[in-house]
Amino acid sequence: MPEALRQRPRLAFAGLAVLLAVLPFLVGLGLGNAWVRVLDFVLLYMLLAIGLNIVVGYAGLLDLGYIAFYALGAYLYAWLASPHFGLHLPFWVVLPLGAMLAGLFGVLLGAPTLRLRGDYLAIVTLGFGEIIRIFMNNLNAPFNLTNGPQGMNRIDPVSVAGLSLGKPLHVAGLTLPPTTLYYYLFLAFVLLAIFVAMRLQDSRIGRAWAALREDEIAAAAMGIDTRNVKLLAFAMGASFGGLAGGLFAAFQGFISPESFTLWESILVLCMIVLGGMGNIPGVLLGAALLTLIPEALRYLGDLQRATLGHVVVDPSDLRMLLFGVALVMMMLFRPAGLLPSRLRRREFAAQDGVAEQEQASLYDAHA
Amino acid sequence: MDIFAQQLVNGLVLGSIYALVALGYTMVYGILELINFAHGEVTMVGAMVALSVIGLLMGVAPELPGVVVVLAGILVAIPACMALAYTIEKIAYRPLRHAPRLAPLITAIGVSIILQNLAMLIWGRQYVSFPAILPSDKYALLGAQISLLQIVIVVLALLLMAGLWLLVERTRLGRAMRATAQSREVAELMGVNVDRVISATFVLGAAIAAIAGVMVSAYYGLAHYYMGFMLGLKAFSAAVLGGIGNLAGAMLGGLLLGVIEALGAGYIGDLTGGFLGSNYQDVFAFFVLIGVLVLRPSGLLGERVANRA
Amino acid sequence: MALLSVENVSKRFGGIQALEDITLAVEAGEIYGLIGPNGAGKTTLFNCMTGLYTVSSGAIRLDGAALQALKPHQIVKLGFARTFQNIRLFANMSALENVMVGRHARTHAKVLGAVFRGRKTRAEEADTQERAQTLLNRVGLASKGQVLACHLAYGDQRRLEIARALASEPRLLALDEPVAGMNPSERLQMGELMRELRADGLTLLLIEHDVKLVMGLCDRVAVLDYGRKIAEGQSEAVRNDPAVIAAYLGSEA
Ligand SMILES: Nc1ncnc2c1ncn2[C@@H]1O[C@H](COP(=O)(O)OP(=O)(O)OP(=O)(O)O)[C@@H](O)[C@H]1O
Ligand SMILES: [Mg+2]
């Protein structure tokens, strides 16, 4: 079947487009509207994962505070489009601003640390993520900027051409609930992000990132300004995060610091590690799996109640544990992820019996 | 009471705990150039294990003096943490020694998540309180109040640091560790069993961390499955501040960070005209970290390494 | 004026004096050899020249422009490329992509160009690919373009490094032991390639332990020992210099 589709890419493409278009209806009818909401989150996480993948997968920089950029985008959206300050700017103004703000913070944070060894970046971004969260939690006094731990609510929904995505839409006898409307909006952004990320990967910039990831010194010696190229990756990734944050705020209508903990950063990192760092289909798969699995895990609680009479282990307690185990296992046994990258596949096709073992040691010698 | 003197005392006490945890980060980094994210969690496990033992002992032998009970807790926590660290290194880090740099860093994060969540399953989401069984005498010192516990923490920390210093400078194992830190290949050629040295480094750091874990929980009167995260971050910041890979640096960095934090939390209200309060205590470590990395990436006592090559 | 001039360069690593007061000049169009026993400081000198190390003192000039304060990528842009003794390819990129990365300093596409892929970007990309393939052909890797660098045979990896360095269109190419680990026939081929490159107007700086190859190929040779230059001159003269025989040739016998 997949073979047949590969023969007719246009047919496969059309099929995929139709599937994506009717997916929320199928899911809504089959599993209920709650699952359409899950679908929306899948898309949101895909957006985040594509952004983080630029930083980690393409350029090989470990960013552990990625969610801070998401938070920046979300808070900026809330400030500019909610009763909090009485501002109600349209989404097409706020979203780009959020992306830019996040990108700016990415540069501010990256500039001092990117000339150092990669692992310092990991720690500094981790710290940055916490700083942002601490500030969001506490900036309700003396001047109420974030409304503290309560968070901010009544954030404006996205509205396109006078049409609010926050209300159900009636067309041609169909009623499209907000979750479905946002599905299409998020889908559009994800497709755009995929397009941008893939174009970038297959370009002079993308090759420079890859070179940087493979060997920073050799990259510099080949004429790459490693500092600028790193900053670029960092800022690009951050602005994807900021964009996703804005969408999240509009979709939920409510944000609080709780949505932006370190574990969210780790979750997104898990997505790209699991799916396949550097490879967009892998990243998308990772995002889908890790959003859906916890949802499915909820049934584990019901299952325990049904079979044992009470809940022995709360499945949400197991979630992080499983992620931790998955991270370690993936690194130990399948470091390239579930879907290894394009290059590796191409290589397997082109390979004509070159002694691999011998070469591997060559690189070890000076790693 | 003198706020400055009091905060200085508090800072030194907290700082000596940071220093102990920082030693573990710095030793491992010195040898493997790996940030052992799980080290903070090992500290947490130390506290939790000790608290379990303490609770158990108080149940079966309520007549035992508090000091003995706590000591017993520490004596169980130390080998537990050593075994834990040994296992972590063997299973999660060793196979990745020649992998790209990102790989061990990601497993380290994975291990730390695993430990945290296992701890949550075992000891629950609630704070575990440290029973009030230690003497609570207080003394006046230069306008500040200092408790017996605080004195014991500082003195014990100093003793441990001195002990570690002697071990690294004076023993065969210490020599092997230094040689391995210089160059793993050369050490290997000189007949050092590098795997053993690396294991020993992890185990040694874990033993100290176990004690530090008990100290923090005794000091704050509680322990929590999440406590290792912040503590670890701060200790790592302390290690960087002092110059990562450098033992004396970790000690100095720890003490300094503790003092900066305590004074900062005490004065931040005045400094910012009441804009920021002491609930920002946790951000100081990060500002210090970022500041050091910008101004002097090699840390206070670190050698200036050419970071371009 | 010399194309590359090294003036009183010294480099210390803590207690080690890796280079001491080195002065030498490479003329445009020549093949200049750098030899010396292990640990003499040859690679260190390359690293200083190409901006990977900062010199402790002294100056390095390429066609009059001071290099010692520049970053590696700026030096590449001025037309000075290099290879590495311990092969530093981009292991998980294809051979072709490795060479394409080498074009970085001579190409311009930025983020917007990459995303929108307008006519200019497409033309540049096509040109990059074509030149990269031409260079692969030139070093004898015509059919290996799609193979990952880490899967290439050892000799191929060395050749790929040269192709990658050439992609930046250097005037001066520094090769650090390019035939190390190669068999005699591969060495001959490599020597031939170097002559061709020189014939194309490139200036070559060559570190090599294979004295016969160096003597046969180089117009002039400098000899380093313990971080000092102990001899310099025409290959023949250097070969018979007693200091050199004692320090280098002697130590090998
Ligand atoms: N980054 C560094 N830090 C400390 N010492 C260094 C460094 N790089 C080189 N050295 C030292 O400088 C000296 C010269 O080394 P270099 O690699 O330049 O020698 P070489 O002439 O290239 O030798 P070989 O023929 O073995 O390649 C050696 O003693 C080496 O240990
Ligand atoms: Mg050399």
Atom of ligand 1 nearest to the CA of C14: 4
Structural domain count, chain C: 2
Note whether A61 and A82 are same-domain residues.
Answer: yes
- Does the pLDDT of residue A27 top 90, yes or no? no
Nearest to B280 among A134, A328, A364 (CB): A134
Helix (H) or strand (E) holding C121: helix C119-138
- Say whether C47 and B308 touch across the interface (CB within 8 A): no
- Check whether residue C178 and residue C116 sit in a common domain: no
The arithmetic mean of pLDDT across residues B260-269, rounded, is 82
Name the pLDDT band for A344 (thresholds 50, 70, 90).
Answer: low
Per-residue confidence (pLDDT) for residue A6, from 0 to 100: 66
Which domain-ending residue is among C169, C204, C227?
Answer: C169
pLDDT at B305: 43
> Residues B254-289, buried b or exposed e (16+ Cβ, 10 A)?
bbbbbbbbbbbbbebeeeeeeebeeebebbbbbebb
Domain B15-134+164-295 sits in CATH at 1.10.3470
Same domain, A20 and A82: no
- Set of chain C residues whose Cβ sits within 8 Å of the Cβ of A344: 92, 148
State the pLDDT confidence band at B23, using cuts at 50, 70 and 90. very high
Nearest chain C residue to A225 by CA distance is C73
Quick one: A3 and A67 in the same domain?
A: no
User: How far apart (Å, rounded) are the C-alpha atoms in residues B278 and A141?
Assistant: 12
Residue C172 in this model has a pLDDT that exceeds 80 = yes
Per-residue model confidence (pLDDT) at position B69 = 94
Going by C-alpha positions, the residue among C156, C22, C180, C6 that lies closest to residue C86 is C180
If you measure CA to CA, which chain A residue comes closest to B88? A328
Say if residue A291's pLDDT is above 60. Answer: yes
- pLDDT for C19-60, tens place per residue? 999 999 999 999 999 999 999 999 999 999 999 999 999 999
A332 in reach of chain B (CB within 8 A): yes
Q: Are A155 and A78 in contact (CB under 8 A)?
A: yes
A110 and A11 within one domain: no
Residue B170's pLDDT band (cuts 50, 70, 90): very high
B101 pLDDT more than 50: yes
- What tens digit of pLDDT does each residue of A71-83 get? 999 999 999 999 9
For chain B, domain boundaries: 15-134+164-295
- The residue among A274 and C119 whose pLDDT is bigger is C119
Q: C74 and C185: one domain?
A: yes
> How far is the alpha carbon of C233 from chain B, nearest alpha carbon, in Å?
31
Handedness of CA A122, A127, A131, A133 (dihedral sign): positive
For residue C226, give how far its alpha carbon lies from the nearest alpha carbon of chain B (Å): 20
Same domain, residue pair A161 and A26? no
Q: Which residue has the higher pLDDT, B35 or B267?
A: B35
Instruction: Judge if C121 and C159 occupy the same domain.
Output: yes
* pLDDT (0 to 100) of residue B273: 65
**A164 and A209 assigned to the same domain:** yes
Q: Which of C169, C190, C211 is the last residue of a domain?
A: C169
Confidence of residue C251 (pLDDT cuts 50, 70, 90): low
C223: helix, coil or strand? Answer: strand
Confidence of residue A366 (pLDDT cuts 50, 70, 90): very low
- Better pLDDT: A312 or A38: A38
Element containing residue B271 per DSSP (H, E): helix B247-271
Does residue A279 fall inside a structural domain?
no
Could you read off the pLDDT of A197-227 as tens digits, one per residue? Answer: 999 999 999 999 999 999 999 999 999 999 9
CA distance A281 to A268: 15
The mean pLDDT of C143-158, rounded to a whole number, is 93
Q: Is C40 in the pocket of ligand 1 (CB under 6 A)?
A: yes
Residue A358 inside a domain? The answer is no
Q: How many helices (H) and strands (E) does chain A have?
A: 15, 8
pLDDT at position C190: 93
| A83 and A116 both lie in a single domain | yes
The overall average pLDDT reported for chain C is: 92
ipTM of model: 0.93
Rounded Cα gap, residues A18 and A15, in angstroms:
5
Q: How do residues A48-64 score in pLDDT, each as one tens digit?
A: 999 999 999 999 998 88
Together in a domain, A166 and A79: yes
Please indicate, yes or no, whether residues C48 and C107 belong to a single structural domain of this protein.
Answer: no
C243 or B73, which is more confident: B73
Q: Which residue has the tokens 């985008």?
A: A73
Q: Which domain-ending residue is among C141, C169, C197?
A: C169
**Which residue range is the domain that position C99 belongs to?**
92-169
What is the model's pLDDT at position A144?
87
Q: What is the pTM of this model?
A: 0.87
Q: Which ligand is nearest to the CA of C16?
A: 1
The per-residue pLDDT for A11 is 84
Chain A closest-CA separation from residue B247 CA (Å): 19
Average pLDDT of the segment spanning A116-144: 82
For residue A106, CA distances in Å to A101, A179, C234 come to: 9, 31, 55
| Residue that is last in its domain, among A238, A272, A306 | A272
Residue C70 resides in a domain: yes
Ligand nearest to the CA of C19: 1
Q: Has residue C87 been placed in a domain?
A: no
H/E stretch holding A170 reads strand A169-171
Domain-located, residue C86? no
**How many domains, chain A?**
2
- Do residue A201 and residue A94 come from a single domain? yes
Q: Is residue B275's pLDDT more than 70?
A: no
Query: Do residue A128 and residue A255 come from a single domain?
Result: yes
Domain limits at A112? 33-272
Q: How far is the CA of C2 from the centre of ligand 1 (A)?
A: 26
Q: Does A39 touch chain B (CB under 8 A)?
A: no
